[in-house]
Structure 1
Amino acid sequence: MRITMSTIVFLIFILMLSILVAKVTNLIATDVQYTHAISEHQKLSTIDQKKYNIGDSSEHLMWFLQISDIHISIFKDPSRISEFKEFCEITVNAINPPVVLASGDLTDAKTQDAMGSRQFLAEWKHYKKVLDESKIVNKTVWLDVRGNHDNFNILTIKSPENYFLNYSIQGQKHTRSYMHEISVGSEKFSFIAIDACLEPGPRRPFNFVGQLTEEEIKKLNHFAKKSRSHNNDYIIWFGHYPTSCILSQYEETVRDVIGKYNEGMVYLCGHYHTLGGISPQMYTLQHMGFLELELADWKDNRMYRLAAIDHGHFSFIDIKHGEWPVILITNPKHALYTMPLKENSQSVIKSTHIRILVFSTVPITSVVAQINDETWIKCVHIKGPLYVAEWDTSSYQTGIHYIRVKAVDLNNNEKMTTQPFALDGSRLSFGVLPRILLMSDATTIFGVFFGVILFINVGILCTFRICHKLCEMKKMRRIHTGVRVINCSIRKLWILSTIDRMFYPLILYPIYLTFGPWAIGEVIENHIGIIFAWGMFIGKSYLPGSFTYAYGFFQLFSFHVPLIILLAHRVDKRFQAIEKPPRRAPRYLQLFWRNLPFALLISMQMIMIYFFWLAYGTLATVLCPLRTWSVFLALILWHQAHVMPDGCLRSAAFVWSASGQLSMTE
């Protein structure tokens, strides 16, 4: 019977794992030509893509800059401000872009202890002062948009604390999403900013995910249609949140909006901060055919992005502040970033020149290029940053090839860059982690993690409880494997599941967290809110749950699971002591080591409660079943594990006692 049940469980596990792997694989697939069902509209638009004669002309060329997650702070790292000023004065002067995108988190909005969050007017004044003193509006078009930090502790878009309205460049004209159009040469470009900030904007940490209302989705569609009606050639979408972090209250998602307009080349964002250095190049090609490119932050990494559209092809490079010269190869384009639905590959195949943009703070003295291991070719300066060299594409018709470019400026600063290219459609693969982070749905991932940890907390104890009942009815025998550690773990959890005063609180607490309120307090300063796993109520406003699931997962994983393990170990020790009573009472040192793990667990939870108090105040901390009340629950259960009558273990003795019964005292 045990073998049959184990086999069935194993097969079910393999089936579920296979389904999960298949779904994830389909989710992150980026070869849109073969794996995605392209609409008829898109099919027609790819056929009609504009073909260019790519030669040595400086026409059909536009470049721009992006900076993200500046996090100007009055408490941390003053060099963020001083180097940001260098960017506005030196970098912008050297590159001379018609447009600069500032994609959110312009200010830090965190208190000195980094736990609390609110808007600080001084930070916004620093931001505005840098832009004013650098005379940025006289040099370029500065397109800024809000991020979640710019929206901490803001009740409505018109709140006095929403300093973006008065201290940013675009906030004085646009309260949320907007479109800006420019013309460069004979071509027209639309830059559409997507403001997905929550309204109201809670204090951290429940302000991680953005949201677009039905009104905002319709506004974005209106901008794209307006761009098309103005015969604009290209749309560059940008915002703070990656699309995986933007909820939609409408049947259309932000990816649907961006992808359905063939003029839309790319979506540029920030927010993830390279995930702490784990994913420094967070790029992917979305199923709808556009690139999504997360930019590493200015806050810690001092990164910015140079991007260009050259003869219908989008290219970019992310650069560390202060590094010169800056090189961007626009033809042939990087093989990883080709967009078959947006770009005409025939333009590159038939091109006659390699095209390179080179910038520095001083004149460039030398630019040379090399393909594969061939001879270095001297590049000719055409106009501005554009350098070209003739090439014969017939030599590179199949497979992946590599182009290297080396540039030297008047100060003898030397820079070399290498990138792969392909003329036959050969493709490279984006990293798995960036694809998951940018192509998934953060809310779904957080919800799945919460559901899994909830199942672990509730399902395992319930399963052992059911098995115990079946053993009592003699319909099955206790589970036994060939691995001692597994047998020991099963025994401990099994015994714990038979003790009513332990079992019911341990399973009802996670279930409560699924439905009941986690905390009641000032989610926004002077405004009471109620936090649930599935959403938040702030006044008359409702914000659907998203990051709350991740917060709940962390609570169950870091506190409740260890609590179950410690309680299971303690009741098992009680059980063993009854079967084989110790010869002497435990000494003080033994008692210390016995209770030390539990004391550490409680201490860690108290630290989390302290952080929660810093974030949301006293009321939310007192009325907080998620954090504060869980400590009292744990203390009561730990006390019960030591003082409960021996009779509470009688049921477990039927299965686990060597003699089938215990000598117990009531």
Structure 2
Amino acid sequence: MRLKLEKANRRYMVICKLSQIQEMKITKLTLSILMFVLMLSIFVANVANIIDVDSHTLDKVKDIEDVTKLKSRWFEPKKFEIHDSYEHLVWFLQITDLHISIFQDPLRITEFKEFCDITVGSINPEVVLASGDLTDAKTVDKMGSRQYLEEWKQYKKVLDDSKVAEKTTWLDVRGNHDNFNIFDTNSKDNYYTNYSMQGRKHPRSYMHQVHLGLDKYTFIAVDACLKPGPKRPFNFVGALDNLEIDRLESLMNESRSSQADYIIWFGHYPTSCIVAPNDGGIRMIIGKYEESLTYLCGHFHTLAGVVPNMYTLQKTGFLELELADWKDNRMYRLGVIDHGQFSFTDIEHRDWPVALVTNPKNAQFAMPHKENIESIIHSTHIRALAFSIVDIKSVKVRINDKNWITCVRIKGPLYVAKWNPLNYSTGIHYIQLQVTDIDGRMKIVTQAFSLDGSRLSFGILSRIVLMSNVSRIFQFLFATLFILLIIPLCSLRIYHNTYRSVYDKNRGVPRINCKLFHWWLRGHWILSTVDRLFFPLVLYAAYLIVGPWTIGEIIDNHTGVIFAWGTFIGSSFLPGSFTYAYGFFQLLSFHLPLTLIIAHRVSQRLHLIEKPPIKSAALLLRLCEHFPFVLLVTLQATMIYFFWLAYGTVATIFCPLRTWSLFLAILLWYQVYQMPTKCLRSAAKVWCTHGELVSKVKDDDQYNNSK
């Protein structure tokens, strides 16, 4: 009787434990779902806040002195009387990412000379902005990077032969390719100093002013190149230190002291790709005063065609406009300031005529805090600019597909036509401009306008790319993938002991309806119980956060150490930015598949104890089971080869990120097959379907017999 009571009590205790675990599972699942929803909500809210361009007010701007005074100035832009006058008008060109190369595509140079000869000569801009990556600076295999004197000589030769300096003012600034393998601005390989138009006078950021009539225009070049400049690929993100920020502040104050009416900022890197010590970064500097209209940049090359029109309105009120590259797309930009309104159009090389409506302005690019819409509402004339390599034959406009109206040429490229803005006082309307030259070439452009503040939105990808912080995105991706790789393994290892203590008599295998998740759970669970596999995988991933990734010549003749969180070169320190993207790619392309492969194979090894394979199929199975690992090792070896091309032998040998990880993978693969069978005994108590099979997991001989 006593024995029956004791057995009943034990059953009751087991049932209680099982019910507690079940409740814990339900509670944890509920909490997990709630936490996921909460985190997703926060993430979506943050993204929405980042890319919001319709609620930007000065209340959101921080660290600005005398906010009340600035508010009154921001909300009262100067009003102009817009009619058929040629005054208050200036236009300029921008070109970016030339990538002049002695190895690739000689047409880049040939057509660049055409641009300097014909395009600049026909449009006759006040200035031309060349916003970085003037040369390619890549080796013939496209993997290494260094400065080539021949490329810089080609750049200077085009400028000299075309006599572009006699036609306009050429304002160039460095990009990351112009800074590859450059220790400092005094380096003998810094050819920008002697072979660019502005490098001798302005080795970094500088200012140029234009006086036209009563108006004064300031162009500020922002050089955010790293100091020192490593070889590629760790030279993708720009940075401004306190010294360069003070320099830009000084240029801004100098411009304001000279009572400049407008400031055009330009540089190579988008603001999302510039690291700065202050919270607002370069965006705060640019948007600090109402004179700043726009920031023009390049660098992203349309993201391989995914975002061909990369434009946005930043929260501090200025337009940021990334221009497609010259390298592959042969694009350039015409920018115009007409009676206080900034307009632009991006044009493909040799696409004539060039046409742009400047009044009424394109509604998508309205800057409410910098341009007074009353100027358009009370204007008397539609205004447009037209250019071609031959004389213009006719210029016509029409609104909302009504009758064409012939425009009258005032002077130079300016054409006007009378209109009544009161007819278009509400909503979005569309104006078309038709330009025909004497050779019969015709261009028709269409743009939206609005007189009541209605606006068109920018593309969401454009806003995310230009309004976010690229470095933080890289950090987020790296941290997220690290957590997804480590936390499940560690959690399963901890949970395994609890689960095993309840099912100490091998009762029940975890039941999961989803086959894919069951496959993942079984493999990772078993992997987490094997010390000689678990610890190397976890510790290697943890090492990538704290330990050096490589030691070698990050710049020729200058040894550096690269960590995830930054790079030391000599006495200089570069904060981590693109390193996180590089680490994310390593985890995604190598560590993640390695973990999945190892988990699957160790799960299969336990499975083969229960169900030995048919001997006739053994050879085929072995070939199949080794193929994924061989493929992974081959890909990693290829990455090591590319790394060697970029940084040389020493950096490749002392490279835990790439080279040492390959040896780690081979060691783990060896352990999967050669470790003692007893290493699987703990996992077998949970995952073997028959209790008597647990006793079979004792030694290597029994496993080898099953094979």
TM norm structure 1: 0.98
Residue 579 (structure 1) aligned with residue 602 (structure 2): no
Secondary structure in 2 matching 1:473? helix
Residue 645 of structure 2 is aligned with which of 614, 625, 643? 614
Partner of 1:282: 310
Letter in 2 for 1:417: V
* Contact 1:536/1:543 (8 A) holds in 2: yes
Q: Distance in 1 between matches of 2:591 and 2:615?
A: 33
Residue 20 of structure 1 is aligned with which of 43, 58, 70? 43
Q: Kindly tell me: are residues 137 and 34 of structure 1, through their superposed partners in 2, closer, same or farther at Cα, counting changes over 3 Å?
A: closer
| Per-residue CA distance 1:377-427 (angstroms, 9 max, x = gap) | 111111100111111111111111111111110110011111111110011
Partner of 2:359: 331
Partner of 1:462: 490
Matches for 1:112-261 after TM superposition, within 5 Å: 112-250=140-278, 253-261=281-289
* Contact 2:218/2:260 (8 A) holds in 1: yes
Structure whose CA Rg is larger: 2
Q: Distance in 1 between matches of 2:343 and 2:112?
A: 24
Q: Kindly tell me: are residues 67 and 662 of structure 1, through their superposed partners in 2, closer, same or farther at Cα, counting changes over 3 Å?
A: farther
| Per-residue CA distance 1:160-205 (angstroms, 9 max, x = gap) | 1000000001001111000001112220000000001111100000
RMSD: 1.4
Q: Distance in 1 between matches of 2:398 and 2:57?
A: 33
Secondary structure in 1 matching 2:171? strand
Q: Kindly tell me: are residues 47 and 578 of structure 1, through their superposed partners in 2, closer, same or farther at Cα, counting changes over 3 Å?
A: closer
CA drift at 1:370: 1.1
Partner of 2:520: 489
Residue 411 (structure 1) aligned with residue 442 (structure 2): no
Unaligned runs of 5+ in 2: 1-22, 62-66, 700-707
* Contact 1:331/1:356 (8 A) holds in 2: yes
Q: Kindly tell me: are residues 376 and 524 of structure 1, through their superposed partners in 2, closer, same or farther at Cα, counting changes over 3 Å?
A: same
* Contact 2:681/2:698 (8 A) holds in 1: no
Matches for 1:171-570 after TM superposition, within 5 Å: 171-250=199-278, 253-474=281-502, 480-570=511-601
Q: Distance in 2 between matches of 1:459 and 1:7?
A: 19
Letter in 2 for 1:388: V
Letter in 1 for 2:540: Y
CA drift at 1:462: 1.0
| Per-residue CA distance 1:89-147 (angstroms, 9 max, x = gap) | 00001100010000000000000000000000000000000000000111100000000
CA drift at 1:36: 5.8
Q: Distance in 2 between matches of 1:408 and 1:210?
A: 43
Q: Distance in 2 between matches of 1:488 and 1:139?
A: 69
Q: Kindly tell me: are residues 187 and 21 of structure 1, through their superposed partners in 2, closer, same or farther at Cα, counting changes over 3 Å?
A: same
Residue 646 of structure 1 is aligned with which of 671, 677, 687? 677
- Identity fraction in percent: 58
Q: Distance in 1 between matches of 2:557 and 2:516?
A: 53
Partner of 2:636: 605
* Contact 1:32/1:288 (8 A) holds in 2: no
Secondary structure in 1 matching 2:657? coil
Q: Distance in 1 between matches of 2:69 and 2:597?
A: 60
Q: Distance in 1 between matches of 2:130 and 2:301?
A: 15
Q: Distance in 1 between matches of 2:187 and 2:137?
A: 16
Q: Kindly tell me: are residues 33 and 608 of structure 1, through their superposed partners in 2, closer, same or farther at Cα, counting changes over 3 Å?
A: closer
Residue 111 (structure 1) aligned with residue 127 (structure 2): no
* Contact 1:55/1:353 (8 A) holds in 2: yes
Letter in 2 for 1:166: N
* Contact 2:357/2:384 (8 A) holds in 1: yes
CA drift at 1:460: 1.5
Q: Distance in 2 between matches of 1:507 and 1:602?
A: 19
Secondary structure in 2 matching 1:64? strand
Unaligned runs of 5+ in 1: none
Secondary structure in 1 matching 2:436? strand
Residue 3 (structure 1) aligned with residue 41 (structure 2): no
Q: Kindly tell me: are residues 181 and 439 of structure 1, through their superposed partners in 2, closer, same or farther at Cα, counting changes over 3 Å?
A: same
Letter in 1 for 2:548: P
Partner of 2:73: 45
Q: What number of residue pairs does the alignment pair up?
A: 666
* Contact 1:315/1:330 (8 A) holds in 2: yes
Secondary structure in 1 matching 2:287? helix
Q: Distance in 2 between matches of 1:616 and 1:7?
A: 49
* Contact 1:313/1:330 (8 A) holds in 2: yes
CA drift at 1:438: 0.7
Secondary structure in 1 matching 2:615? coil
Q: Distance in 2 between matches of 1:503 and 1:654?
A: 18
Residue 31 of structure 1 is aligned with which of 40, 49, 54? 54
Q: Distance in 1 between matches of 2:470 and 2:594?
A: 28
Partner of 2:666: 635
Higher alpha-carbon deviation: 101-110 or 472-481: 472-481
| Per-residue CA distance 1:515-572 (angstroms, 9 max, x = gap) | 0000001100111110100000111111111000000000000001000111111011
CA drift at 1:580: 2.0
CA drift at 1:249: 2.9
Letter in 2 for 1:70: L
Letter in 2 for 1:664: V
